[in-house]
């Protein structure tokens, strides 16, 4: 099982009046982890420290620079909250993998964990985002190319299984 571990720091503004991470902010945290994991940028420095994945990661093959030939559109997102996320001084460990590689879409799976090394370990949330790759010029879906498929295939594993609904 190969996963990307992306450390994401919380901001004080991520908290709501109940003192835990707001549900809308959770989407932002997942987006930030997804961009670090899969998008290459021209930014040679990584502001998240040496253990962060990103432009140096083998999975970071999407062009994240302005004027890129590919757009990424969110087709679907689902989050299951398992425990409230309090403010933490150390970065959350957001684990990412791919639950599916389709023709023009991919399913990014996430687990949001307490900071690495912190005990007891807590799994705060599970989530899935379906992304469609779109050609910028035609504004039509485009197929996942050989470079992307080769870079992402090592991160394929079973998709997230959400708790059974009652």
| pTM of the shown model | 0.88
**In a domain? residue 137:** yes
**In a domain? residue 121:** yes
Q: How many CB atoms within 10 Å of residue 160?
A: 17
**In a domain? residue 163:** no
Burial class (CB in 10 A: 0-12, 13-18, 19+), 113: middle
pLDDT 10s digits, 111-128: 999 999 889 999 999 999
The answer, yes or no, to whether residue 82 has pLDDT greater than 70, is yes
Q: Which of 18-22, 51-55, 95-99 has the highest mean pLDDT?
A: 95-99
**Lowest-confidence region among 69-73, 78-82, 162-166:** 162-166
Residue 17 or residue 138, greater confidence: 138
Number of structural domains (the chain) is 1
* Cα(128)–Cα(162) distance, integer angstroms: 10
* Cα(40)–Cα(162) distance, integer angstroms: 30
pLDDT 10s digits, 44-66: 444 444 444 544 578 999 998 88
Domain at 55, CATH number: 3.10.129.10
Q: What percentage of the chain reaches a pLDDT higher than 70?
A: 89
**In a domain? residue 111:** yes
**In a domain? residue 162:** no
């Amino acid at each position: 099982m190969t996963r990307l571990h992306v450390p994401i720091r919380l901001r004080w503004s991520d908290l709501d009046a109940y003192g835990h991470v707001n549900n809308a902010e959770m989407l932002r945290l997942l987006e930030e982890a997804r961009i670090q994991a899969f998008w290459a940028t021209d930014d040679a420095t990584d502001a998240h420290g040496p253990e962060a994945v990103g432009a140096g990661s083998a999975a970071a093959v999407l062009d994240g620079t302005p004027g890129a030939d590919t757009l990424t559109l969110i087709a679907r997102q689902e989050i299951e909250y398992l425990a409230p996320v309090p403010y933490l001084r150390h970065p959350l460990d957001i684990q990412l993998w791919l639950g599916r590689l389709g023709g023009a879409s991919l399913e990014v799976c996430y687990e949001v964990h307490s900071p690495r090394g912190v005990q007891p370990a807590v799994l705060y949330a599970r989530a899935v985002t379906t992304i469609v790759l779109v050609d910028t010029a035609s504004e039509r879906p485009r197929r996942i190319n050989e470079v992307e498929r080769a870079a992402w295939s090592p991160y394929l594993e079973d998709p997230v299984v959400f708790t059974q609904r009652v």
